[in-house]
Amino acid sequence: MPSDATPDPYADPLRFGQRMQILRERRGMSRTVLGGLLGFSTDWVKQVENGRMRAPGLDVVLQIAQALRVRDLADLTGRQGMHIDLFIGPGHPRLAAVRAAVDALPIGDPPTAPPSPDHLAVRLSRAWAARHSAPDHRERIGVLLPELIRDAQLAVQHAERPGEWRRAQAVLSEVYSLSQFFLAYQPDSSLLWRVAERSMVAAQQADDPHAIGVSAWLLAQAHRDAGPAHYDAADTITQQALDYLEHRLADATDEVLAIAGALQFEAGYTAARRGDTASAWRYWDIAREMASRLPESYYHPATSFSRAVMGAHAVTVAVELHAGPESARQAARADADTIPSRPRRARHRIEQARAYQLDGQPEAAIATLDQAYEAAPETIRYNGYARTIILEETESKGTARRRRASELAVKVGVLAA
């Protein structure tokens, strides 16, 4: 190895400051940018890296790890016992209340009669509508979730007839599914897994095909996003759910057909993550055919599956396959304006930005992330891919692009104003 090579933070027990400097430089991040992310001066960063200042406390170490997009805290500290996944966003102010509702034990007689499953279903439908229509969608559903979770649990506990109990279980499963949209990228991975598993248990108790499909869809995503070691589990869950739904599709409702189509795309998404081009596009073709069987205006409330979203799904497949020119071509073809959900539209814009970044079009990437912010600020604020692109472009050599990226970084909250 040449003498001027960058030291490997995994090879030697270097002091904290050296590890911090190595990881910062590997990200192509200046001391000024890192200091801005942390709320400290450039000189403070320099002193920590040079060992003239003691390693900071745990709270600041965690902030540094997040700013450097370190996936495992041990990479920064050198302490192999500190294996903590850090590819998560900042905690939402409503997280504590949602966590308390999930952790509460619903026993004893409620102060008032629990709501009926039908009443809860109406409230849940309104909550989905609020999520799709609001730019601050996490805040909106974060306000609604604690009471929805509590009331759905009570409805199950106090159901008097088998049919009512199964209906209550189906609603509870979907309440937990909605909760996962709030909990994604939040700093409590164990809570997300607990809710995902409870959703599937409730769906199975309900013996409801739609609830089982939605729960499987979300559980497969949780496994896939946990990393390559979990791809097999994601595939198994997806395929088991598709097998379960297969003989129910001949006379299926639109919502059951939609969840089956969404699961087909999920299989393609995981295949793309594996780098299996043929399988990824084959599953996308199957999903597109299933979408064509739905009414043109139909839009599934949980998965967003519809005719309108298939163009966005094509962008995602190409991006996950790291196909730069193809991903940019799909990004240019897909019409975001046909997607009625604001957070899903913002997510699509982020995928388009990833496509343009892959294709060497950083100006288009930043412009598209601006559009994502306008659609739903809370989507981009908690999305690791968007935050990464923005931070990388704040170091651009182009003055105009650097300024635009820095302005967006301040709006999103990854740089101090």
State yes or no: pLDDT of 4 exceeds 80: no
Q: What is the CA radius of gyration of the chain?
A: 23
Q: Which residues of 213-225 are buried (b: 16+ CB within 10 A; e: fewer)?
A: bbbbbbbbbbbbe
State yes or no: pLDDT of 12 exceeds 80: no
Distance of CA 287 to the CA centre of its chain: 21
Q: What is the pLDDT of residues 243-286, one digit of tens each?
A: 999 999 988 999 999 999 999 999 999 999 999 999 999 999 99
Other Cβ atoms within 10 Å of 173 Cβ, number:
26
Sequence-ordered strand ranges (E) for 190-273:
none
The percent of residues above 90 in pLDDT, for the chain, comes to 64
The amino acid present at 139, given as its one-letter code, is E
pLDDT tens figures, 116-128: 999 999 999 999 9
pLDDT at 40: 87
- Using the predicted structure, report yes or no on whether residue 2 has a pLDDT greater than 70: no
- 52 DSSP 8-state letter: S
Q: What is the pLDDT of residue 353?
A: 96
What is the C-alpha separation between 300 and 295, in angstroms, rounded?
Answer: 11
At 72 the pLDDT is 67
Domains contained in the chain, CATH given: 16-77 (1.10.260.40), 89-207 (no CATH)
What pTM was estimated for this model as a whole? Answer: 0.79
The 10 Å CB-count burial string (b at 16+, else e) for 146-164 is: bebbbbbbbbbbebeeeeb
Q: Tell me the CB-side half-sphere exposure of residue 389, using CA atoms within 13 A.
A: 30
* Distant-in-sequence, close-in-space partners of 229: CB < 8 Å, separation ≥ 6: none
